[in-house]
Structure 1
Amino acid sequence: MTGCRRVAAIQDISGLGRCSLTVVIPVLSAMGIQVCPVPTAVLSAHTGYSEFVMRDLTDFMKPALEHYRRMNTEFDCIYSGFLASSEQIDHCLEFFAAYPDALKVVDPVMGDDGKAYATYTDELCGRMGELVAVADIITPNLTEAAILLKEPYPIGTITTSQAKSWLVRLSEQGARIVVITSVNLADGGMHTIGYDKGNNSFWKIKNDYVPAHYSGTGDMFTSVLTGSVLKGDSLPIAMNRATAFTELNVKTTYSYQKHWTEGLMLESQLPWLTGYQELGDYTNL
């Protein structure tokens, strides 16, 4: 394919609360990448709100793929995020199989803070491993990494050797590139860590601490990382860019003291993705 890169983004879309497709679409679009949403569900507000209405779109996914194939539509990347059922995992696998040359990105959204989300059953968490097995890039947070590895969630800090071991073990499940977010390393502070199996390189980027969390943060990080890789960035540069933009939005949102359910105030920060970018440091893990 020539010209604009094209991504099929398989995620839900929520009216209130910036997350999933309402983050993926503007971020990748600002990076000059076309997003073709494959919505798995439509919600009036994301599931962190006390109430919401939802329309499941599982039965839309297979006909959408069949239509794209009839149209000989090409995709440079298939990118999956939050999924609501085992059947949706089946449809994601069909998308991946239909586009064997596309970059396959799996954000294995399953939980946070040491716990799986209420909608993620043991079966669904177990089947997430099937997507990880065919992915090129996976971006779990530490909770999701523990679930995929069937390890207890680390309380407190983890050592550099343990972090490297987890990265390698996750890559052995299939992915060439593994990035784990929200890792509290014993040698000082919260980090994002990454591993490129192709050249056996390990990387870490220190995260500034902000005493807050917001919906859609992981969606933003993975979207910037994906866009950067599609544009030819190395893994440490892509991690750096994704970390810097996410931190900028977290700090902006925190300054306005917005409730976490509203998500990150990305609208005014999108020009950062198109202009000169002040990046932080990255080092070998």
Structure 2
Amino acid sequence: MAYHALTIAGSDSSGGAGIQADLKTFSALGVYGASVITALTAQSPQRVAGVMPVSADFVNQQLDVVLEDLPLNSIKIGMVADPEVARIIHQQLRNRNDLFVVLDPVMVAKNGARLVDDEALDAVRHYLLPIADLVTPNLPEAGVLLGCDYPRDAETALTLLPKLKALGAGSVLLKGGHLEGATCPDWLDRGHGPECFEAPRVNTSHLHGTGCTLSSAIAALYPQTQSLDLAIQKAKTWLGGALQQSNALHLVEKGGPVHHFHQWWPR
């Protein structure tokens, strides 16, 4: 059986995050990828030199064509900074129960700076969370969504899960990569208590696009497995390999992307 996924996100001109990371992930995991671009960026793993938003009308036109003409199984939604674009995505997807929707609420830069204003944050809460089958915030993003300081330990992180679930998504995967320790724990809440998924922490600085990559991996794997647990486990294992082989890209000394095709390219 062939599988098809759509990413709705911004373009990363350096190829490590956003639309490019999502499409690479889909391809690496055996899924045909389509895209709806919400913004263009001029960036490298070290800096963002410019951002050019795509008009809401043209985002809507892209969605019209792709949703009408392609046999999609799943959708990954990345950063949406325009409230009107969030409203349009909601309108297009609110009745598409045949699609598995993963929302990666990209809201905080690696330096801790907010990437979206209050109006866009409210739009994510109002329009995007209710149509998501799974939302995948990291700890700083969870703090922004809930209007609180982000948790610095696992015990505090677990107290946020029911509050995040109450925002309206079908399930919440709270990512604990910002914590210290030998493993990276993520906690899944489907409404009946947390389930923990752990993976060994990989010692690398090449983390550009890891959030985009994990969420798109889950979007690619869920239709193939029909199991959220298995999709998350397989996505984390695959991402661990991509992190372990990230140095093989020889792109930048520090802060580069993961190696999406580590299973395919010769070492």
Q: TM-score, normalised by structure 1?
A: 0.79
Instruction: Letter of the 2:36 partner, please give it.
Output: V
Instruction: Letter of the 1:264 partner, please give it.
Output: V
1:172 corresponds to 2:166: yes
1:244-283 equivalences in 2 (<5 Å): 244-254=237-247, 256=250, 258-260=252-254, 262-267=256-261, 269-271=262-264
Q: CA deviation at 1:209?
A: 4.3
* Residue of structure 1 equivalent to 2:120: 124
> Alignment identity in percent?
22
* Residue of structure 1 equivalent to 2:3: 5
Q: CA deviation at 1:120?
A: 1.2
Instruction: Letter of the 1:169 partner, please give it.
Output: K
Q: CA deviation at 1:259?
A: 4.0
In structure 1, the gaps of 5 or more residues are 273-285
Give the one of 129, 139, 148 matched to 2:145: 148
| Paired residue secondary structure (1:105) | strand
1:158-237 equivalences in 2 (<5 Å): 158-159=154-155, 162-183=156-177, 189-197=182-190, 200=193, 202-232=195-225, 234-237=227-230
Q: CA deviation at 1:107?
A: 0.6
In structure 2, the gaps of 5 or more residues are none
Q: 1:101-134: per-residue Cα shift (whole Å, max 9, x none)?
A: 21121111111558343x3112222322121122
Q: Distance in 2 between matches of 1:245 and 1:202?
A: 20
CA contact (8 A) 1:49 1:261 kept: no
Q: Higher mean Cα deviation, 138-147 or 246-255?
A: 246-255
Instruction: Letter of the 1:152 partner, please give it.
Output: D
Q: CA deviation at 1:152?
A: 1.0
Give the one of 89, 99, 102 matched to 2:99: 102
* Residue of structure 2 equivalent to 1:77: 74
Q: Distance in 2 between matches of 1:221 and 1:189?
A: 19
1:37-76 equivalences in 2 (<5 Å): 37-45=35-43, 48-49=46-47, 51-52=49-50, 54=52, 56-68=54-66, 71=68, 73-76=70-73
Q: CA deviation at 1:228?
A: 1.8
4+ aligned runs moved over 6 Å, structure 1 = none
Calculate the aligned-residue CA RMSD, in Å. Answer: 2.9
Q: Distance in 1 between matches of 2:148 and 2:30?
A: 39
Q: CA deviation at 1:257?
A: 8.1
Q: CA deviation at 1:98?
A: 4.8
Q: Distance in 2 between matches of 1:260 and 1:84?
A: 28
Instruction: Letter of the 1:110 partner, please give it.
Output: M
Q: CA deviation at 1:17?
A: 4.0
| Paired residue secondary structure (2:106) | coil
Q: Distance in 2 between matches of 1:100 and 1:201?
A: 25
Which structure has more relative contact order (CA 8 Å, sep 6+)? It is 2
Q: Distance in 1 between matches of 2:159 and 2:134?
A: 17
Give the one of 7, 12, 30 matched to 1:14: 12
CA contact (8 A) 1:78 1:104 kept: yes
| Paired residue secondary structure (1:7) | strand
Q: Higher mean Cα deviation, 6-15 or 58-67?
A: 58-67
